[in-house]
């Protein structure tokens, strides 16, 4: 694993820890000011900018605090040299009841990353569940 992959894995691990700790400040600490997130719910063209990104989290963190799960089961990072990188991941995400009923269901996550002043930041997130039809 190269240094860029290591640094990005630490960034993602810190973000996941902040989510599990319901720590909004930690959740947004590694994100760029111009983050573009394609989230599960609308808006159709994404949440754009760190303020819009931050505003999506409090209801989700409350949902997690009520007992819902957000666990990464597979994270793959693609980086090495240059100032851009990406990562993708599969997560178990849902209420315990839904995860029990649909154990194979996954939240799919893709991250776009940019190095700024020597530090990797998340500049793009895409979260989705599969859909039929």
Q: Which parts of this chain interact with its own copies (CB under 8 A)?
A: 36, 38-46, 74, 76, 78-86, 88, 90, 104-106, 108, 110, 112-114, 123-124, 126, 128-133
Beta bridge partners of 115: 120
Residue with tokens 């190269």: 2
Helix (H, G, I), strand (E, B) or coil at 120: strand
Per DSSP, 104 falls in state T
Q: Length of the chain in residues, anyone?
A: 133
Closest distance between its own copies and the C-beta of residue 89, in Å? 10
Q: Please, which residue, 27 or 85, has the CB nearer to its own copies?
A: 85
Give the largest CA-CA distance in the chain. Answer: 46
Q: Please, which residue, 26 or 50, has the CB nearer to its own copies?
A: 50
Q: Please, which residue, 23 or 38, has the CB nearer to its own copies?
A: 38
């Amino acid at each position: 694993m190269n240094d860029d992959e290591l640094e990005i894995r630490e960034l993602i691990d810190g973000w996941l820890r902040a989510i599990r700790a319901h720590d909004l400040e930690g959740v947004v600490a590694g994100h760029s000011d111009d983050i573009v997130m394609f989230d599960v719910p609308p808006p159709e063209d994404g949440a754009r900018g760190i303020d819009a990104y931050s505003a999506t989290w409090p209801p989700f963190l409350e949902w997690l605090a009520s007992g819902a799960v957000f666990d990464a089961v597979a994270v793959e990072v693609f980086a090495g040299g240059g100032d851009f990188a990406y990562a993708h991941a599969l997560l178990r995400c849902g209420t315990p009841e839904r995860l029990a009923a649909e154990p194979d269901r996954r939240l799919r996550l893709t991250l776009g990353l940019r190095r700024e002043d020597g530090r990797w930041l998340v500049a793009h997130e895409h979260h989705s569940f599969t859909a039929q039809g």
